[in-house]
Chains A and B, each alone.
Chain A
Amino acid sequence: MATPVMMPNVGITVESCILTTWHKKKGDAVKKGDVLFTYETDKSTLDEESPVDGIMLEQFFNEDDDVKVMTNVCVIGAEGESTAEFAPAKEGDEAPAPAAEEAPAAAPAAAPAAAAEVAAAPAAGAGEFVKASPRAKALAAKAGVDPRYAGATGPDGRVIERDVRTLIENGPSATPAAAGAFAGQAGTGMGGKFAVGDIGAAAPAAEAAAAPAAEYVDEKMPTIRKTIAKQMVSSLSTAAQLTHTLSFDATEIMAFRKKVKNAGEAMGLNNITLNDILLYAVSRVLSGEAHRALNAHLLNGDTMRYFTNVHLGIAVDTPKGLLVPTLHNANLKSLNDISAEAKKLAKTCQEGAATPDLLQGASFTITNLGSFGIESFTPVINTPQVAILGVGTITTRVREVNGEIKTYPAMSLSLTYDHRAVDGAPASRFMVDLKNALENFSILLSK
C-alpha cells in the first residue's frame, strides 16, 4: 500500500501552507528522509521529508499552491500502486480567510472548517458574529472600535451606522443581546440617544485611483507580510493604544556590559548584550505583582489573562520580515541563560527555520531599534498582549551635577500599552520601576 504525505499541521493557527518547491518529480525514486518538498507558512520555510522508501507516484499540487494542512500532497509507493484514494477532495472555493477575519483577533482561530461555518450560518449568541451593516463595519474599522459593543438599533438587531457613531462618542453602552431585543416592527420603544446630526456624515473613503501602469510594479505580498499587515491593522483598530516615553541613565549597564565583554568569556559567560540586559530587567520588573496588568492578555475585550511567569516576545528583523519568537519563563532564567536563548531564537528566525509554535505564547514584547539610531518610537502591540516596550538608541545628554554641567549616556524606552487594560499611572509606575532597575542594575542582579 502506498503512503500518502500530508501537508503537516505545523501550528495551531496555521490553516494552510504554500508549497514552494518540489524536490522530487513524479516517478523519481525516493529514500526515507529525502526532502520531498519545501513549504512555507505565514512565518517560516520548512522541508518535508519522505517517511518511506519508494517512488513518487503522484503529486496533487503544483509549486506555489496554497495547500490546507492535513491535506495529502503526494504519494510514495511501489510502481503501479493506486493513488486515487489519496487524492484530496475538491472542496470548491472554500474561503477560510474571510471567515477568519470575522473572528476577533483575540480569539484563537478555530479549525478552518468550523470558521467557515460560523461565517456561513452565524449562530445567535455565539458572541463572535457581529450583525452589522457594511457601512457600520466600515466606520468601525476606520474609527478603530469594535462594532460588537455598539448597541444595535437597526432592523432585526443589526448594528447600523448610527450605533457605531454612538459607540465612538459614548463608548460601549449596550450589550449586543440587549440591543438585539429591539425590533423595528414594534414601532416604539427605541432606547438610546438619536441625534440626527450623527447620521450620514461619514466621508466616503477616497477610492483608490489607478495610476498609469508603467510607473509602478504591483506585487503580491508574501504570506509573512500579509500576516504582519493583518496583525498590525487588527492591533491598531481593536486596542486603545498609547505610548509613554522616558530615558534612563545607561552608565551602569554600559559599565556592566563592558565588564562582561572583557572578562566574561573567561568565566564561561556569553557575550551579554545591552539587549540581553534589558530582557533580564524587564522580566524581573514585570514579574512583580505590581505590574501584572502589563504581563497579560486582554481577551474578547472583557477578560484579562494574567500570566504567572514572564514570556518575552523578542522582535527579530529577518530577511523575510518581522518575526517575534518567544523566550518563555524569562523571569526564571539567569542573565546568561537569557542571553544564550535570545541569540538562539534570533538565529533560528533569521534562518527561516522558526516553527509557528516558537512564535507564540508571549505575554509581553520587546522591540529594539536602538542599533539603527532610532531615538524614540511608538511600537505596535502584538495583541492580545497589552503592552510592548520599544528600546531606542543611546544618546549623550547633559545634566547639572553640583552646579556643573555633566554629560551622561541616556537610553530611551517607549511603552505602548492598551488603555483598555491598563491606565496611565500604573503604566508610568512600571516605566519608573524599570528605569530604577536599569540604573541600578548590579542591585537588581543581586536580588
Chain B
Amino acid sequence: MPKSMYVKPEEKFAKRTITFQDIPVCEYDKTVKDEKANFTKEEFLGMYADMVAIREFETMLQSIKLQGEYNGKKFTYPGPSHLAIGEEATAVGQAFTLGVDDFIFGTHRSHHEVIAKGLSAIAKLSDEELVKIMEGFNGGKNYEIIKKHTTGKTTKEVARDFFMYGITCELFAKDNGFSRGLGGSMHAFFLPFGIFPNNAIVGGSAPIATGVALYKKCNKKPGIVVANAGDGAAARGPVYESMNFAAMDQYNELWEDGYKGGLPIIFNFNNNHYGMGGQTKGETMAYGDLARLGCIAQNQMNAERINGWNPLAVIDAYKRKRKLLEEGKGPVLLDVVTYRLSGHSTSDAMSYRTKEEVDDWASHDPLTVFPQQIIDAKVATKKEVEAVRDAVIDRNHRMFELASDLEISPYTDYNEHPDHIESLMFSNGDVPKMDDRECEVRQPKEENERVKKIARSQRYAFDENGKPYSKAKVYNIRDGLFEAIMDKYYEDPTLVAYGEDVRDWNGAFAVYRGLTEALPYHRLFNAPIAESAIVGSAVGYAMAGGRVIAELMYADFIVCSGDEVFNQMAKWQAMSAGGLKMPLVLRVPVGFKYGAQHSQDWTGLCAHVPGLKVVYPVTPYDAKGLMNTALKGTDPVCFFESQQLYDKGEEFVKEGVPEGYYEVPFGEPAVRTEGKDVTILTIGATLYTALEAEKMLREQYGITAEVIDARSVVPFNYEKVIESVKKTGRIVLASDAVTRGNILNDMAQNITNLAFDYLDAPPVVVGSQNWITPAAEYKEQFYPQASWILDAIHERILPIPGYVAKHSFTNEEMLRKAKKGV
C-alpha cells in the first residue's frame, strides 16, 4: 500500500449505504428484420453459415462417438467430446465483431468458439494475409493438401477449407492438427486467427486471459481479450481472483497516464445453466443471476445478461462493451444465456433434466429460428439459405474425409520421431529481450540508490586475511538477484514483475529494494493476495509475448496456484507444439522459521511435473548467474530462493561476483570442496550444513568429503556427480525438503544406476523429518543437521571408528518410520 493513500479512520467509520446500478437483462430483442439496414445480406448468411459449420462439426463428433462413423465412413475417435450443439449462435455472435488482434480463450467446450472465431477471422483478413498464414503454418504442408483437394474458388473459400481441415486434424490427434494433435478437443486453438488456448480446467482460462489483457495494456498492444467460461466456472476461485485482478483500483488510482484503466478483457460466461449436470442457479450457485458477480468491482464490471441464442444480441453487446474497454473502463462481465441441446459429453445420460425441457429449448433452436428470420425479412430466399447450408455441410464432409484419411493426414510417427514430444517440452530459447522498443524507466540505472550502495559492497565474503566482511558491507544473494533483474529491466521493455508487496515494501525480503524508484507502476506492481491470478496471469503475459517475473511470497503458496503452476505454466509450450513460449520466472522463496505452512522446500513437487525448469541457487554468484540465464530463456522456471540466505555473501568465487553480465548454465552442479572419501550432494541451503559436516569429517575423523551443490534440479547433468562418486564410492544426498518424496530420492536412484559398480554402499538421502515443520526453536529436531550427515555416513555407509551416532539411520528405524507413515 503506497503512502500516498491515507487510510482515514473517520472515513472508515462513517455511516452510509452501498448502492448498486441496475443490471440489464436481455434488453436487446431485435430480429433480422429490425437490423436489416445494419448488416449486409452476406453478413446475415455468413452468420448462418458459420452456425451450420459448428452444428455439423459437433454432429460429426457425436456420430463418430456414438455410431463409429460419419457420412458413411467408419472412424474412431477415442478422445473427449464436449459438444456445443445449441450454443452456435452464442459463439458466432461473439466472433462477429472480433478481429485477429482480439484474442479469445475457451474451455473444455469450445469447438463452437474456435470455429466461429476462425471463420470470422477469415472474413476479415485480406487474401494476402490469409495466404501468408496458410503458407507459414506447418511448413505449408496443410496448404498444399488443401490446394490439391479444395473445391473453393476464392482464397477465402480455400482458407475456410484450410481452417476446418486443421481443426478437424487437431481433434483427431493428427500430425497436421493446429498443435500437431497435442492440444486436441479441449485445447484446440490457432494463434494466427487470434484463437488462444482452450483450457480443460474449469475456469482455467480466466487468469491466463487476464494476463494476456495485462500484456496488451502494459505493452500498448491493440485488441481486447475474451475469457470464455461456463456458468459452472463462476464458482471457481481463480475466476474471482482474475476478475478482481483485472479490475484492481490501482489501474485508475496509481498507474501512470497512458496506462490507466481496467484491463481490456471480457469475462464471457456462456451460461448454459448446467455445470456438467449440476444446475448452477437453484442448486450449486448462490448468485441468482450470474451477472450479479460483476459487483465484485466498483464499476460492476459493466455486467449485463444477454440473449445468447440471438446472435444479433451478442453482436450488439460486444459492440457496446468493446467501446467501454477502449475507454479504459474494463473489465466487462457478460452473462450470456444459452443452452446445450446435446449432453455434457457423449456419455451423458441426461439424468438431470427432462426431455420436455430439452424439447422446449429445441423449439427455439437458433439453427431454425435465425434462417427463418432471414427468409421472413426477405434478406434471402429459402433456396438461397438452403444452398448456404448445403455448401457448408459439404465442406465439413470433405474436410472430414481429408482429416480421417491415414495417407493424407497421418498420425505422428513416433517410430520415426521418438523425441517428438521430448523436443517440445522446452523451447530453450536465448532471447535477451522480447521486444526492441525503449525500456520505460523512471531514472538512469546509475542514479539508483540501491545500485550505488551495491557499488560500495564487497563482492567476495572474505578480506585478504580470510576474515569475513560484516553483513552490512557484503554483496549478498539479495543483491545478486536484484542486479540481474535490474539489468533486465533496462534491457527488455516487456519485462514486468509483480507479486504480493513487491512495490514499496520491496518484496517481503527486500530483493526489489530500489526497483520502486526505478520503475513505473505498470512494470512493477503489487498484486492482490491471489496466487492463482498472479501465476495464471503471468502465464498469459508470457504466452502473449512478454517476459515476466511473478513472485510467490513463500514456496508454500505454490499450491494456492497449483493449477496455474502445474497445469498451465508447465504445459502450454508442449501442448501448443511449440507455438507458444513461456518466458516466465516464478520466484519461490523457501521459508525456514515460520512454522508448518511457511517453511517448505517444494522443489520435488515442481520437479515432478514435466515442463518446468527448477533451480535453487544458494550463493550470490549463482543467484545472479542463474537469474540471468532464467531471464534470457523462453521456458518457465521455478526459481527457488532460501529466505535464510538472502544476506549470504559469496564464499566460493574468490574474484567476487562479477559486476557485468554472466550466466550460470542450468543443470550444472558446482563442486564446492574436493574430497576423496565421500560425496555430499545438496539442494538449497543445506549446502552450508554439508560444509559444516565436511569440516567435522576432515578435522575430527580425517575423512575428506566432496561437497557438490546441485544448483539446478531440472535439468540436471549427473556427469560431475558420477565422476565424484566413482572416485569416492560413497554419497550422501541432503536437502531441507522432507525425506519422503524428496527429489533427492530420484537422484539417488539415478546415481545408483549410473555408478553401481563403484558404490561402496547405497546412496543415502538425508532430508527433513516427515513431519509438519515445527517452530524455529525446534529446527534441530526437524531439519538435517551436520551431525545427521555424519550419522548417515557412520550408520549406512562407512562406520567411523570412535564415532557415536545421535540420529538413527538404521534399517530398523527406516522400516519403523515407513510403517508409521512418518
A residues bordering B, Cβ < 8 Å?
133-138, 153-156, 158, 160-162, 182, 184-185, 187-188, 190, 194, 196, 199-202, 204
Contact = CB atoms under 8 A, between A and B. Distances in A.
Contacts of B677: 196, 199-200
Q: Is the interface of B mostly helix, strand, loop or mixed?
A: loop
17 contacts: A133-B729, A134-B757, A134-B758, A135-B759, A160-B760, A160-B761, A161-B760, A162-B798, A184-B795, A184-B799, A185-B805, A188-B802, A188-B804, A190-B799, A196-B702, A199-B677, A200-B727
B287 interface: no
Contact of A154 (B676, B760, B801, B803): B760
Contacts of B805: 185, 187
A187 B802 CA distance: 7
Contacts of A196: 677, 702-703
Given A187-B805, A200-B727, A204-B727, A156 B759 contact: no
Given A161-B729, A187-B805, A204-B727, A154 B758 contact: no
B756 A134 contact: yes
Interface string B786-822: 0000000011111101111100101100000000000
Contacts of A136: 760
B728 interface: yes
A134 B730 CA distance: 11
A200 B677 CA distance: 5
Contacts of B802: 188
B811 A187 contact: no
Given A135-B757, A196-B702, 9 more contacts: A134-B756, A135-B729, A138-B757, A156-B811, A160-B761, A187-B794, A196-B703, A200-B676, A201-B676
A200 B799 contact: no
Nearest to A153: B799
Main secondary structure of the interface of A (DSSP, over half): loop
Contact of B799 (A133, A138, A154, A202): A154
Most buried by B among A138, A155, A161, A204: A155
Interface residues of B, number: 29
Shortest Cβ-Cβ A-B pairs, 5 listed: A196-B702, A187-B804, A135-B760, A204-B726, A200-B676
B795 A185 contact: yes
Nearest to B805: A187
Nearest to A185: B810
B700 to A, nearest CB: 12
Instruction: Identify the interface centre among B703, B801, B808: most chain A CB within 10 Å of its CB.
Output: B801
Contacts of A162: 798
A154 B811 CA distance: 14
A190 B760 contact: no
Contacts of B757: 134-135, 137-138
A155 B727 contact: no
Nearest to A193: B801
Contacts of A187: 794, 803-805
Contact of A160 (B703, B756, B798): B798
Contacts of A201: 676
Given A133-B761, A158-B761, A161-B729, A190 B801 contact: yes
Interface string B1-31: 0000000000000000000000000000000
A160 B703 CA distance: 16
A135 B758 contact: yes
A156 B814 CA distance: 14
B731 to A, nearest CB: 12
Nearest to A188: B804
A155 B796 contact: yes
Contacts of B798: 154, 160, 162, 199
A158 to B, nearest CB: 7
Given A161-B729, A204-B726, A204-B727, A155 B795 contact: yes
A212 to B, nearest CB: 23
Contacts of B797: 154-155
B274 to A, nearest CB: 52
A112 B794 CA distance: 38
Contacts of A135: 729, 757-760
A204 B802 CA distance: 30
A74 to B, nearest CB: 37
Nearest to A187: B804
Interface string B726-763: 11111000000000000000000000000011111100
Q: Tell which of B728, B760, B798 has the most Cβ of chain A within 10 Å.
A: B760
Tell which of B757, B761, B799 has the most Cβ of chain A within 10 Å. B799
A200 B758 CA distance: 10
A52 to B, nearest CB: 49
A135 B801 CA distance: 21
Contacts of B726: 204
A138 B761 contact: no
B728 A200 contact: yes
Contacts of A182: 799
Contacts of B761: 133, 154-155, 158, 160
B763 to A, nearest CB: 12
Contacts of B756: 134
Contacts of B808: 185
Contacts of A160: 760-761, 798
Given A138-B757, A200-B728, A184 B703 contact: no
A397 B673 CA distance: 64
Nearest to A195: B702
Chain B CB within 10 A, most for which of A134, A184, A187:
A184
Contacts of B804: 187-188
A204 B801 contact: no
A196 B801 CA distance: 11
A239 B119 CA distance: 84
Contact of B758 (A158, A185, A204): A204
A392 B94 CA distance: 100
Q: Identify the interface centre among B729, B730, B794, B796: most chain A CB within 10 Å of its CB.
A: B729
B804 to A, nearest CB: 4
Interface string B489-511: 00000000000000000000000
A131 to B, nearest CB: 12
A137 B760 CA distance: 9
Interface in B676-722: 676-677, 702-703
B755 to A, nearest CB: 9
Nearest to B758: A135
Nearest to B806: A187
Nearest to B706: A200
Contacts of B795: 155, 184-185
A138 B811 contact: no
Contacts of B794: 184, 187
